[in-house]
Amino acid sequence: MARRPAPPSPSIGAATPRSTSSSRQPRSGAPAAPRVDVREWASGMRLSAFSVIMLSLVVLGAWVLVPTLGTFIDQRQKIAALEQSVQVSEDEIAALTAERERWDDPAYITTQARERLYYVKPGEVVYLIDNDLDPSTLPREQEPVSDTLEEKPADWMPQLLRTLVSAGLSDTAVPAG
């Protein structure tokens, strides 16, 4: 197998044929980068049998491993989801076990019977209070008191005058009592 010599490559400073179309010229005043002729570059490459075999092995390996890698990632995600599900189930089992242990206590059973079913011991009198008040009439909870002092401007003199005038002009008198 005889090798043919590679065609001479142009040196960096040698002139290369360039097209004069305005669409390929850079818009800024910067000099254009040296262009590489792809046909000339590809003709300089030599493929040996070893290179072809190695390239085909890399392609074959990628073809075999990519689906396997996708399956591996899917399985890891499923395993993580199942481990989380197992943890949630174990937490629920622990809560139910604690609930069952509470129901083994006779005092807890008595308390639940009194609260839920309104059971009473003989001789006891039970008063049920129905909370039928309108929620808007109930007093609102007080907001927390702040530690900072705030001084609000208050002009008390006009307020006093308005009160005196309205009291003097009213037709009805309300007895104090």
Does the pTM exceed 0.75?
no
Spans of the chain below 70 pLDDT: 1-32, 173-177
- Dihedral of CA atoms 71, 72, 73, 75 in degrees, nearest 10, equals 80
For the segment 23-44, what is each residue's pLDDT rounded down to a tens digit?
A: 455 555 556 677 877 787 777 7
Distance CA 27, CA 130 (A): 86
**Which residue in the block uniquely carries the two structure tokens 């995600």?**
77
For the segment 136-152, what is each residue's pLDDT rounded down to a tens digit?
A: 777 778 778 788 887 77
